[in-house]
Amino acid sequence: MQIYLPIAEMPVNVFVIIALGASVGFLSGMFGVGGGFILTPFLMFLGISPAVAVATQSTQIVASSVSGVITHWRQGNVDFKMGGVLLVGGVLGSIVGIQVFNALKAAGQADLFIALSYVIFLGSIGLLMLSESLMAVRQGGSSVGGFKREPGGHYWIHRWPLKMRFQRSKLYISAIPPALLGFLIGLLSVIMGVGGGFILVPAMIYFLRMPTSIVVGTSMFQIIFVAAFSTLLHAITNQSVDAILALLLILGGVIGVQFGLRFATRVRGEFMRLGLAILVLGICLRLGLDLVVPPPDPFTVSAEASK
């Protein structure tokens, strides 16, 4: 069944879009990522312009993240304090990110820099996660980074000032590392044009050493704000949010996310990390191939209405 999209100005198949929303929602519920990195290229593949694709996928991410956070919150699996600290850092990071992005663009070669850093970044995160989770799977334990969490255990993060108690995450650490992490994610997400969930989730697991069960809900909490801000920004500056497309994606997304959440509770933490590692490596591989495979048409055209 075809339906015409008023902003994208083209028809799409209703069921294809709902199924797409549902699959991305499932991944989102499972791993705590937004899923824009899958949704945007797929919508563009269907012929939807990049501007509309980027703007509209963010509305679906708002819906599935809200749905996921509420469910996790009922189970006590969201660390709102941690989410808040990450968010403060994130806002500052995106402000700086816009400056960095413009500076890179002015210097030329922004594309090269972004593409390379993306691949290197994702590749190293993915490989680290893969080896760690494989090791954990083999040992049958749910330890993180190869050693057991000790309640009073110290490592370098504990020596920083501005200590805060994050009860949900069972952490008593300085607020600086999570704020710094949020800052970095904000910076990267502006430069790379993605929400950054698939960077945030591993970083919370390995860098902040949060329990895997808390990470998904907390990441989604932070993603709600990033996606809502992105939706607003696109709606106001480009008028590129397509309400019909959003509705269909949301319909699939909010159902998919609930199934993803349910599925995640049946899977042990190390298998979840293994799955995320494979996902991250998959994205890395796709981006890497885009870089080295000679393009069928070396030219890309983006058109916009004359001002």
Identify the residue among 15, 95, 103, 109 touching another protein (CB under 8 A): 109
Place of tokens 């968010």: 87
Q: Which stretch binds another protein (CB under 8 A): 34-42, 60-68, 82-90, 185-193?
A: 60-68
The whole-angstrom separation of Cα 33 and Cα 260 is 11
Reading phi first (left if > 0) and then psi (alpha if -120 to 50, else beta), residue 3 is in: beta
Using rule CB under 8 A, residue 74 touches another protein: yes
Interface with another protein, residue 299, by CB under 8 A: yes
Helix (H) / strand (E) element for 236: namely: helix 212-237
75 binds another protein (CB under 8 A): no
Which positions ≥6 away from 8 have C-beta within 8 Å?
48, 49, 52, 56, 242, 245
- Residue 150 or 304: the one with the smaller Cβ distance to another protein is 304
Which of 23, 57, 64, 133 touches another protein (CB under 8 A)?
Answer: 64
287 binds another protein, rule: CB under 8 A? no
For residue 30, how many other CB atoms are within 10 A of its CB?
23
Q: Which of 43, 54, 62, 281 binds another protein (CB under 8 A)?
A: 62
CA distance 207 to 216: 15
- Which secondary structure element, helix H or strand E, spans residue 197, and what is its range? helix 197-206
Instruction: Please identify which residue in 95, 98, 112, 267 interacts with another protein, judged by CB under 8 A.
Output: 112
Rounded to a whole number of angstroms, the minimum distance from the CB of residue 270 to another protein is: 26
Q: Does the protein bind another protein through residue 88 (CB under 8 A)?
A: no
Going by C-alpha positions, the residue among 128, 109, 110 that lies closest to residue 120 is 128
Q: How many CA atoms lie within 13 A of 39 on its CB side?
A: 37
- Residue numbers 234-263 binding another protein by CB under 8 A: 234-237, 239, 241, 243-244, 246, 250-251, 254-255, 257-258
Told to check if 266 binds another protein by CB under 8 A, we report: no
Among 27, 66, 173, 223, the residue binding another protein under the rule CB under 8 A is 66
Considering only residues 170-229, where is the footprint of another protein by CB under 8 A?
A: 224, 228
CA distance to 29, 112, 284, 291, per residue, from 287 (Å): 24, 12, 5, 6
CA dist list (Å): 182 to 85, 94, 176, 188, 200: 8, 9, 10, 10, 8
| 106 scored as a contact of another protein (CB under 8 A) | no
Q: Is residue 159 close enough to count as binding another protein by CB under 8 A?
A: no
* Binding stretches for another protein (CB under 8 A): 2-4, 6-7, 9-11, 47, 59-60, 62-68, 70-71, 74, 109, 111-112, 115-116, 224, 228, 231-237, 239, 241, 243-244, 246, 250-251, 254-255, 257-258, 291-295, 297-307
